[in-house]
Amino acid sequence: MKDEYSGAVKEAAGRIHATIPANLVEKFAKTCTIRPSDFIHCEPAPCGEVCAIDGSNVMLLESGSMALAVVRAAQTTFVDMERKRRSVTPMRFALIGPEEENQDFPVLYADCFGQPPGKTLSNEDITRAAGILRDTLEYWVAETMAKELGPGALLLRDGPLRVSHESHNPVLTRIALTCYDRDLGLAGISKRSAATWGGGHPLLPAVFGFAKTNKIKAPWWIKIDPAILDHTPHAQWQHGEMYVACLHERSKGPLKIELPKEIGNEAAEVMSRLAGCSADGRIPGYPYPLFDAHRTVVITEEITAQLKGDLLGQLADAGIDRQTYEILFGDYHDEFARY
């Protein structure tokens, strides 16, 4: 039994190791024909006006047939190092199930954009559905801010410039156009990336390792040729081009950054501004306004507990007794954890 367990652990570790072999950097350079000159050093520049947008979703209740999610989004705008404005959307409750199609999505979408979504949202994958609902609010905040920010501002989104639902595609298109028309910078920033090369090697560790091996001094950035990736992103929903950047010499790792396709030579300026707002001592290498947006929007455990309490009260008023509630949403794991 012990040998069986050890073998399973060893096999799992071995499979991970196979994706990041000891010669990862060497293999990356050879396979993808990456050269040190592909890395561009950028000097941190004053970041000026920067607006960061983030969203948060939490599953309040889950039963076999349905789930109740709560979502919200927020923006926080800095001018240089001081926050000038911060705002949040109201908490929105959305029931995922028991129908096949989500009933709250069209309402939320219409509330945000004044028209019904082009496509319905399936309730099949609860987590994905909650994410799409959250994205809806995030895109609405982004579009709103794209219209309000001063010319030259930088609009940051936590995540890629790629939609996960067809109905968001026209919204992100409008956002990109508004930014272009109003001379705003736009960037989607991700801490993680699913991108791989050479048959399953993760992209970010390879790029970071290459820079380290070749003593490339941070901050730096590199544009990623989609041809080196194992899977080409879905072009129809993709509004940005992929870059990898390390924005501070003390950064824990690189970020995947997506900039609009039309950006051209202005990429360098955006990267310098991003480096300029990524030197905060608490989280070096990560744009501080995004960190602040996250702190603003996050639905914490305390908030969740409060929401659950409010909800429970309303359910009781509606005539759903505790026992029925437990049958519907009770979690035996809570009971298990007591023993």
**Does the protein bind another protein through residue 282 (CB under 8 A)?**
yes
Residue positions counted in the chain: 339
Question: Alpha-carbon torsion 172, 175, 177, 180, what sign?
Answer: negative
**CB-wise, 62 or 280, nearer to another protein?**
280
Element (H, E) at 139: helix 126-148
**Does the protein bind another protein through residue 248 (CB under 8 A)?**
yes
**Does the protein bind another protein through residue 292 (CB under 8 A)?**
yes
Among 141, 146, 153, 224, binds another protein (CB under 8 A): 141
Whole-number minimum distance, CB 139 to another protein, in Å?
11
Report d(CA 32, CA 277) in Å as an integer: 31
Report d(CA 109, CA 139) in Å as an integer: 10
Whole-number minimum distance, CB 71 to another protein, in Å?
12
Contact 48, 273 (CB under 8 A): yes
Burial 166-177 (b: 16+ CB within 10 A, else e): ebbbebbebbbe
Size of the site for another protein (CB under 8 A): 32
**CB-wise, 209 or 284, nearer to another protein?**
284
Whole-number minimum distance, CB 37 to another protein, in Å?
28
Of residues 186 through 215, those in contact with another protein by CB under 8 A are: none
**Token pair in block for residue 190:** 């991700």
Of residues 298 through 337, those in contact with another protein by CB under 8 A are: none
CA distances (Å), origin 314, targets 145, 275, 289, 308, 324: 35, 48, 37, 10, 14
DSSP 265: G
- Taking residue 243's Cβ as centre, other Cβ atoms within 10 Å add up to 23
Contact 278, 187 (CB under 8 A): no
Binding segment for another protein (CB under 8 A), chosen from 21-29, 246-254, 256-264, 311-319, is 246-254
**Helices 301-317 + 322-329 axis angle, to 10:** 130
In the chain, what is the straight-line distance between the N-terminal and C-terminal CA atoms, in Å?
Answer: 25
**CB-wise, 219 or 260, nearer to another protein?**
219
**Does the protein bind another protein through residue 284 (CB under 8 A)?**
yes
From 98, 106, 123, select the one nearest 167 (Cα to Cα). Answer: 106
Of residues 93 through 112, those in contact with another protein by CB under 8 A are: 108, 111-112
**Does the protein bind another protein through residue 140 (CB under 8 A)?**
yes
Among 10, 15, 35, 85, binds another protein (CB under 8 A): 85
**Does the protein bind another protein through residue 89 (CB under 8 A)?**
yes
Q: Strand, coil or helix: what is 92?
A: strand
**CB-wise, 79 or 315, nearer to another protein?**
79
**CB-wise, 75 or 238, nearer to another protein?**
75
Whole-number minimum distance, CB 87 to another protein, in Å?
5
Whole-number minimum distance, CB 75 to another protein, in Å?
7
Q: Where do contacts with another protein occur on this chain (CB under 8 A)?
A: 75, 78, 81-83, 85-90, 108, 111-112, 114, 137, 140-141, 144, 248-250, 277, 279-282, 284, 288-289, 292, 296
